[in-house]
Amino acid sequence: MDFLEAQNYLEKVRSQKGIVLGLDTMRHLMAKLNNPQDKVKFIQIAGTNGKGSTAAYLTSILSEAGIKVGRYTSPAVFSSTEQYFACGSCISESEYAKGMTAVAEAAASLDGETPTAFEQETALAFWYFAKKGCELAILEAGLGGDMDATNIVTTTVCSIITSISMDHCRILGNKISEIAAHKAGIIKPGAPVICIEQKEDAMEPIRAAAKAADTPLYEVHRDEVRQIFSDKRESIVFFREFENLHLKMLGSCQPENAALAVQAASVLSRSYPIEKKHIYDGIEKTRWGGRFELHSGSPDIILDGAHNPDGIRRLRESVNQMFGAVPICYVCGVLADKDYEKEIEILFGRASNVFTVTPPSPRAMKSTDLKAAIKKRFSQLKVISFDSEDGIEKAMEAAVSQNNPVVVCGTLTILARVKEWMNCNNRL
């Protein structure tokens, strides 16, 4: 397969088989590939929000320390290749095609089992990390933790749990304690756990899992993370003995994500050559697209992939912090299986205009249905829906013409199209 054929193959698999939690098929698939994951040591990350950003910070720190590090995140936002990072760069299209060909052949040879698209994407990550000779690789759980395809690894050296809130409730449960128990499933004996402060109902299963695994748990409390300065270019954060950490990634959630990475790096420094300078430089050099990503101009444009109530709440905090009382124009698309009613309630109280779009996803809510839901809650708000094939592009044209800051949000799946539009219109 070439790169396009590999992508088409995965999309076909995705259309035929949805989410299936469990590890047996994944273990069988990796056995067919000679278990490349056993050649690499892993840092596992689970949580509802902040996984990708925390992974990005830690990748940067480890790279500064000269460690051959890999990173696997999902879903892809701008390109399939961005999911796979190793030794300083993302996977090439030719490597992607070669690896996915091997994975597809292994999947086809299984007796009576069809791995999901996510399982095969994860298998590609393991294949790639082994091929590149990674010393450490960071794995972001796709859904939950305990039964996620990433959790077949047995060489974990550290587990990180980011902010946990209500999401994927039909699969993970309707209580925060149930969701947290799934996330805590990544905890392994002998692998220290780093966890951001959670609600007590979420902390209980995490503490219990760490105790059962007889492994230390390091809790990062939010009152230990102090943001002392913030503007449109950076924020300066104090965390314990780490003073004047310079964050180029914006948004109210980033200080705690950075603190998690700093704590993880501090723990790992007992076994790896990580120095304070590597931590400071790594944090400052971190970039991660689609997470309160600011493009300054006339007007400013923010790209943010927040897609659950907690993420939307943090987005609102970030918008208020940066723009104050300035009216905001939103371009928004959502997936129908998300808690969009609560997201509407949180976000649009101070909006000047909302332009709704239909995301390029089989799970998408139609722009007209989203408009109706917004008008039901905010009847006086000006809401315009764009439901044509080029609706996302038309919505952006309409939004920037208002000359107020534009915030693009609701789902990661619309950001690639928005970036393409921005590139074509010299706004990157």
CA atoms lying within 13 Å on the CB side of residue 291: 23
Q: Are residues 232 and 366 in the same domain?
A: no
CATH (domain of 357): 3.90.190.20
Mean per-residue pLDDT pooled into runs of 10, the chain (428 residues): 97 90 96 98 97 98 99 94 98 98 98 94 99 98 95 98 89 92 97 97 98 98 93 93 96 96 98 98 96 95 93 95 94 92 92 96 94 96 94 97 95 95 92
Q: Are residues 212 and 320 in the same domain?
A: no
* Sheet strands (E) in 105-151: 136-140
Q: Are residues 279 and 326 in the same domain?
A: no
Residue of 47, 389, 398, 3 whose CA lies nearest to 198: 47
Cis peptide before 299 (omega within 30 of 0): yes
Q: Are residues 344 and 268 in the same domain?
A: no
CA atoms lying within 13 Å on the CB side of residue 224: 17
Parent domain of 373: 293-424
Both tokens of 154, joined, read 């047995």
Write down the pLDDT at residue 391.
96
Q: Are residues 32 and 107 in the same domain?
A: yes
CB 50 within 8 A of CB 257: yes
CB 176 within 8 A of CB 164: yes
- The Cβ of residue 403 has, within 10 Å, a number of other Cβ atoms equal to 11
Q: How far, in Å, CA of 313 to CA of 48, rounded?
A: 13
Both tokens of 265, joined, read 């790096």
Residue of 422, 410, 273 whose CA lies nearest to 330: 410
- Phi first, then psi: give them for residue 69, nearest 5 degrees: -115, 145
Number of domains observed in the structure of the chain:
2
Q: Are residues 104 and 185 in the same domain?
A: yes
Write down the pLDDT at residue 383.
97
CB 55 within 8 A of CB 46: no
Among residues 285, 314, 331, the one where a domain terminates is 285
> First CA to last CA across the chain, in angstroms?
33
Q: Which amino acid is at 340?
A: Y
- Phi first, then psi: give them for residue 182, nearest 5 degrees: -65, -45
Q: Which residues pair with 204 in a beta bridge?
A: none
Write down the pLDDT at residue 428.
82
Q: Are residues 59 and 116 in the same domain?
A: yes
Instruction: Count the helix, strand and coil residues of the chain and give each as a percent rounded to the nearest 5.
Output: 45, 20, 35
Write down the pLDDT at residue 18.
84
Q: Are residues 328 and 257 in the same domain?
A: no
CB 347 within 8 A of CB 428: no
CATH (domain of 146): 3.40.1190.10
- Any alpha helices (H) in 155-308, and if so which ranges? 169-172, 176-183, 200-212, 254-268, 276-285
